[in-house]
Amino acid sequence: MSASQGPVVRPYGDTTGDGMVQVSFTLPVPHDKRAEGAAIQLANRMGMDPALLVHAKQMGDGFTFFVVYGRVNHLVDLSAVQVVERDFPLLSAKEVNAVVKRRLRRKLSVVGACIGTDAHTVGIDAILNVKGIAGEKGLEYYRELSVTNLGAQVSVPELVEAARAARADAVLVSQVVTQRDAHLHNTREMSAAFREALPVGRRPLLIVGGPRFDESQATELGVDRIFGRGTTPGEVASYLVHALVTGRKVGAA
């Protein structure tokens, strides 16, 4: 982790530094004037003053969605912002294949899945499937990578057995469902299962990704790497080479 050097800034709305922000939220109340007043009260307590209600819509029975626009006085110190920096070079598909072939001398085995009740495969498919995302091909396109995509709603025991059968060097898990922190619970369960099932020398690299993960929580969750929203197949492939080949951390050989 590293800190980015920079000035103290305020949010930008209509003019530079005016402190204007827009937030959205849902309250468990039917849409009426009282609900709108409650939304403004919440925004005020969040530090927005003045707070203007710009949108309110009934969301089913007894719920209302709000959008509030207003001013905050909070400042952001950019020098205190901590992020997980990319600590490996980005490689092309050709470079990845060449390094794996020359250094590993066999195909690098990758197993991917959505675990638990998560049925949202768009993330794992974007990384693994040949079609990839935004014109960038997925890991199945890399001739020196052997990819097994287990799809959705895979149980942790099934994932462990599939990784064992494929002699996986890396396990990629995508988690989109986050209600009641399901993504965190599932990740901890997965990491614990792999620690119990396989010794350190044969344990695959554990990688998770999804829009609600904090990339700094990898150690806390027991995984090797967390990728957030916007991650591309090339980034994942480059990390695999960095962690498993050039770094010589090869799992189930």
Q: Which of 33, 57, 101, 131 is catalytic?
A: 131
Contact 30, 22 (CB under 8 A): no
Spell 167-198 as b/e; 16+ CB within 10 A means b. Answer: ebbbbbbbbbbeeeebbbebbeebbebbeeeb
- Compute the distance between CA of residue 124 and CA of residue 118 in angstroms, rounded to an integer: 11
Query: What's the distance, CA 3 to chain centroid?
Result: 21
Reply yes or no on whether 57 is catalytic.
no
- Compute the distance between CA of residue 53 and CA of residue 166 in angstroms, rounded to an integer: 54
How far apart are the two ends of the chain, measured CA to CA in Å?
31
Q: Which residues are catalytic?
A: 131
